[in-house]
Amino acid sequence: MRHEPINPQLFIENRKNFALRMERHSVAVFNSNDTMPTSADGTLPFVQHSDIYYLTGIDQEETILLLNPDSSQESNREILFIRETNEHLAVWEGEKLSKAQASEISGIKNVQWLSAFQSQFRGAVLQSNNIYLNTNEFKNIATPVQMRDDRFREQCMSQYPLHTYKRSAPILHELRAIKSDIEVALIRQACTITEKGFRRILKYVKPGVYEYEIEAEFAHEFIKNRSRGFAYQPIIASGKDSCILHYVKNDKVCHDGDVLCLDVGAEYAGYNADMTRTIPVNGRFTQRQRDVYDAVLRVLRQACTLLSVGSNFEEYNKTIGEIMTEELIDLKLLKRKDVRNQNPERPLYKKYFMHGTSHHLGLNVHDYGHYSTSFAAGMVFTVEPGIYIPEESIGIRLENDIVITENGFIDLMDSIPIEADEIEYLMSKRKK
């Protein structure tokens, strides 16, 4: 692994907290993601399922976790099953984790080869009433791809039709929304690596460079600092494309006078950063660009203070809308008279700021967490307001990652340049 070892106490506590929320006489099973094919004999790089990683720290394919908290045998209350290495695998892929290595990473004492799973699972199921299985219950997502968890669920319900089936997802959405100190430290490290990438490109960007060259500069810095790379597909959008929210072609040349929207983040140890900065390609904002930039920054500053214990997304988004409306009036993009007469269900500010301001962040860039519950200490959110004016080829978005505390918030990106003056100063130091 590229990253420093993680304290296994994180995974021990995560399993303990999950088990405490299970009904009595139950088992739970978590599967790794599949290795996804491309074509012929090609495969995509393996990406571990964030749930089994959250509970074990194991980043290896074909891994299974079995939880059986009420087992009469203490050693069988947590069993980790891993792929057994062999001479062929060792030659072609390198050795897989040993039992001792998997135990050290996860804190699970009982580690067995994958071939033992079916017999161990059957023994546990026949002494249980309920089976907890995993499904993707992230909002607004309906994946057409059948994953390992899906196939296992069908197999399990066919073999054990008289058991009661329970959903693991609601428990995980509750637990994973609150980050431990160890998790916050890992996210902060991802933010630190992201900062290094941003400072690198401030010395590099100038008229005539291509967006993909900037992407390469980020990738170099991320990987050099023990990251696997980007936390998500990076957005390097210049000129009019800065107004496209999910622009990922990154294939245009950056022109003098353009703004450049950079929505990038590094991954570290499975955890993610999510940063957006908008900079002037030539190193100096025009007055209009600067006015829009400062407006967005003011909204970001105020939004951070609104993410406090006991508040909620409904109140938060309503207030952000009011703040953004005032900024758009000052920029002469909206008229106060029109705002007074607007349809409350279709506020006018959404013409220029059409996306949400915040989402949970963690093992997934859009991480687990209910959006109907109140904010609580330990939640990590992005804060990413933006103003997009396609007719002026100006798209300004700014984004920091913050953690809510009992006494306010901590900005995990507070050392990353964001003030326009500082960005212009740092860009003035780049090689000509």
Q: Quick one: what percent of the chain has pLDDT higher than 70?
A: 99
Summarize the confidence of residues 157-166 as an average pLDDT.
97
Question: What residues does 263 pair with on adjacent strands?
Answer: 235, 276
- CB-based contact 430:202 (threshold 8 Å): yes
Residue 252, CA distances (Å) to 219, 238, 243, 365 in order? 18, 8, 14, 26
Instruction: Give per-residue pLDDT as tens, 80-116.
Output: 999 998 877 777 888 899 999 999 999 999 999 999 9
Q: If we measure between CA atoms, which residue out of 133, 129, 132, 161 comes closest to residue 24?
A: 129
Summarize the confidence of residues 249-266 as an average pLDDT.
98
Angle at 277 between CA 275 and CA 283, to 5 degrees: 150
Cβ-based burial of 308 (10 A; exposed 0-12, middle 13-18, buried ≥19): middle
The mean predicted confidence, pLDDT, of the chain is 96
Instruction: Give per-residue pLDDT as tens, 194-210.
Output: 999 999 999 999 999 99
Angle at 47 between CA 44 and CA 51, to 5 degrees: 155
What domains can be seen in the chain, in order of their start residue?
Answer: 9-176 (3.40.350.10), 181-428 (3.90.230.10)
**Does the pLDDT value for residue 133 go beyond 80?**
yes
Helix axes 420-428, 287-306, angle to 10 degrees: 130
Known catalytic residues are 41, 246, 263, 274, 355, 359, 366, 384, 388, 397, 399
pLDDT of residue 221: 98
| Token digits of residue 395 | 């798209």
Q: If we measure between CA atoms, which residue out of 57, 56, 113, 58 comes closest to residue 83?
A: 113
Cβ-based burial of 119 (10 A; exposed 0-12, middle 13-18, buried ≥19): exposed
Instruction: Give per-residue pLDDT as tens, 214-256.
Output: 999 999 999 999 999 999 999 999 999 999 999 999 999 999 9
| Alpha carbons 96 and 83: distance in angstroms, whole number | 7
- CB-based contact 165:157 (threshold 8 Å): yes
| Alpha carbons 278 and 145: distance in angstroms, whole number | 35
| Alpha carbons 427 and 432: distance in angstroms, whole number | 10
Q: Which of 32-46, 62-76, 129-143, 367-381 has the least mean pLDDT?
A: 129-143
**Does the pLDDT value for residue 142 go beyond 70?**
no
pLDDT of residue 432: 62
Instruction: Give per-residue pLDDT as tens, 54-88.
Output: 999 999 999 999 999 999 999 999 999 999 988 77
| Alpha carbons 52 and 65: distance in angstroms, whole number | 7
Q: Looking at the whole model, is its pTM more than 0.75?
A: yes
Q: If we measure between CA atoms, which residue out of 186, 198, 237 comes closest to residue 418?
A: 198
| Alpha carbons 10 and 15: distance in angstroms, whole number | 9
User: How many Cβ atoms are within 10 Å of 160's Cβ, its own excluded?
Assistant: 15
Q: If we measure between CA atoms, which residue out of 47, 14, 17 comes closest to residue 32?
A: 47
Residue 161 neighbours by CB under 8 Å, 6+ apart? none
- CB-based contact 325:16 (threshold 8 Å): no
